[in-house]
Chains A and B, each alone.
Chain A
Amino acid sequence: AQKVTQAQTEISVVEKEDVTLDCVYETRDTTYYLFWYKQPPSGELVFLIRRNSFDEQNEISGRYSWNFQKSTSSFNFTITASQVVDSAVYFCALSEARGGSEKLVFGKGTKLTVNP
């Protein structure tokens, strides 16, 4: 069965600090997709990134970067020079690529608070 674990329930940092949010996943499939979503206090889920299981290249988008390592089944998310606006709950999710419902399995989320 698929499972996503976000061991960090809450993280608090001071503005401009770098912060890494951990995500570990379990799946029996060789083809799958990993996602990160941001949920600000307004509640709406904001799509950040999708990565397929065959692409282990790290990705950088502005202050955001993602480190995908199949060997450790991890897909960690780093925010560089954090800002107060980064305060939100961040969810990691996993989806199988083959047939079925293509549903997302979510971790429990990490609440990030960036203090000024």
Chain B
Amino acid sequence: GAGVSQSPSNKVTEKGKDVELRCDPISGHTALYWYRQRLGQGLEFLIYFQGNSAPDKSGLPSDRFSAERTGESVSTLTIQRTQQEDSAVYLCASSRTGTKDYGYTFGSGTRLTVV
């Protein structure tokens, strides 16, 4: 597609429920990243995919968080047993591997609210 697409744009869930957030990167972008942005804060790195492997998961805050990617396309971030502290905007970005000539392109994010 023309840009990075994320769905849903907004999600309200009850504490303790599981949620799935989806990211559809730009076609041809082999690198995919998930970030979290809490209200009024900067972006925190969560996980990086190169193709369908995840060489860097160092930012995932707990084992309630997991992500997968199908080939070089869609990625899903799953949060199990959501907590109120998980409320944030979750941003996805993609880029062309090994070429720093391009800035990372971000999606519009999914605003997650845990009530």
Chain A interface residues toward B at CB < 8 A: 33, 35, 37, 42-45, 47, 49-50, 52, 91, 93, 95, 97, 100-109
Contacts and interface: CB of A to CB of B under 8 A. Distances in A.
Given A44-B106, A44-B109, 14 more contacts: A35-B104, A42-B108, A43-B89, A43-B109, A47-B104, A50-B100, A50-B101, A93-B43, A97-B100, A100-B56, A101-B48, A102-B95, A103-B56, A109-B42
A104 to B, nearest CB: 6
Interface of B: 31, 33, 35, 41-45, 48, 55-56, 58-59, 89, 91, 93, 95, 100-109
A104 B42 contact: no
B86 to A, nearest CB: 18
A106 B31 CA distance: 18
B interface SS class: strand
Nearest to A91: B42
Contacts of A103: 33, 45, 48, 56, 59
B45 A102 contact: no
B44 to A, nearest CB: 8
A93 B95 CA distance: 15
B53 to A, nearest CB: 11
Given A52-B100, A103-B45, A45 B55 contact: no
A108 B106 contact: no
A95 B48 CA distance: 13
B112 to A, nearest CB: 13
20 contacts: A33-B100, A37-B106, A43-B109, A44-B106, A44-B107, A44-B108, A45-B93, A49-B103, A50-B101, A93-B43, A101-B45, A101-B48, A102-B31, A103-B33, A103-B45, A103-B56, A104-B45, A105-B45, A106-B35, A107-B42
